[in-house]
Amino acid sequence: MGNIQATKLIGTLLIVGPLLTIICYFIQQFGVLGTDVDPTSVAETAHLWADASELSIATSVLVAFGVALFVHGIFFIANEIRSGGDGAALAGSAMPFIMVGFIGIVAVSGLTIAGANITDAAGQGFMTAVSVGTVAAGINAIAGIFFGIGFILIFLAIASRDEYNSTLAYIAAIAAVVAVVVSIIAISNTEQAKLMTQIIGITYIIHVIYFIILGRSVLSRD
């Protein structure tokens, strides 16, 4: 009975966590930042987090919470795979990368909350807001790359197992490869950062869909 309860919990986390995260992500992109600014430009967006401080804070907390939920779900599956058989080494290698990515996301959420609480972010507090935003952007960039590498490894591990749909896992792994590549491009070529961010958003959607399917498969276990 305890095992059944565990799988029901993990399956739920793999569905709820990614959904909560991506909903809050798009609320931030369109509800806080809007469509009239370049979301990759700290100078253009720094004061907007403070202008919509309540929404910024709420979504930042929920993003960190949502990521924590699905990371727990991923680690459950990774530990199952690590217990033996195909994909054990890949699953074990994925975990530290995912953990570093998770810590980075939590740090970014904390910095976003700090930026949202800056007084007069469009005036006297502007430089402080830009400084906080710049640090957050840097951490977010490296966290995204680490998350992407971790996703590649864990999805390849899942693809090697008979109990999972290998085709879907390979598609998710390819999306993670794309996310890592475009993240590196965005860092090295700021002129392409806006386009690369949009592509990353598409990979997020693909991964959310896959996590929902994965969660449903875990929920269906006897």
Question: Please, where are the H alpha helices in the chain?
Answer: 2-26, 42-51, 53-82, 88-116, 126-159, 166-188, 193-219
Residue 220 corresponds to which amino acid?
S
Domain with 37 in it: 2-219
Confidence of residue 1 (pLDDT cuts 50, 70, 90): very low
* DSSP for residue 33: S
Mean pLDDT calculated for residue range 8-30? 92
Confidence of residue 4 (pLDDT cuts 50, 70, 90): low
Q: How far is CA 10 from CA 15, 89, 112, 117, 195, in A?
A: 9, 22, 29, 35, 34
Mean pLDDT calculated for residue range 40-63? 88
Indicate whether 173 pLDDT > 70.
yes
Phi/psi of residue 84, each to 5°? 150, 155
Q: Which of 45-49, 136-140, 210-214 has the lowest mean pLDDT?
A: 45-49
Mean pLDDT calculated for residue range 183-195? 84
* Residue 169: count of CB within 10 angstroms of its CB: 22
Confidence of residue 113 (pLDDT cuts 50, 70, 90): very high
Indicate whether 219 pLDDT > 70.
yes
Q: What is the pLDDT of residue 43?
A: 83
DSSP 163-200: TS-HHHHHHHHHHHHHHHHHHHHHHH-GGGHHHHHHHH
Q: Which two tokens stand for residue 68?
A: 């924590």
Q: Half-sphere exposure (CA, 13 Å, Cβ side) for 100?
A: 16
Q: What is the pLDDT of residue 74?
A: 95
Q: What is the pLDDT of residue 222?
A: 62
* Residue 98: count of CB within 10 angstroms of its CB: 23
Q: What is the pLDDT of residue 76?
A: 93
Instruction: State the pTM of this model.
Output: 0.89
Choose the most confident range, by mean pLDDT, from 39-48, 122-131, 193-202: 193-202
Spatial distance between the Cα atoms of 64 and 57, rounded to a whole number of angstroms: 11
Mean pLDDT calculated for residue range 110-139? 85
Indicate whether 221 pLDDT > 90.
no
Burial label, 94 (beta-carbon count in 10 A; 0-12, 13-18, 19+): buried
* Residue 186: count of CB within 10 angstroms of its CB: 22
**For the chain, what is the domain count?**
1
Report the mean per-residue pLDDT for the chain. 89
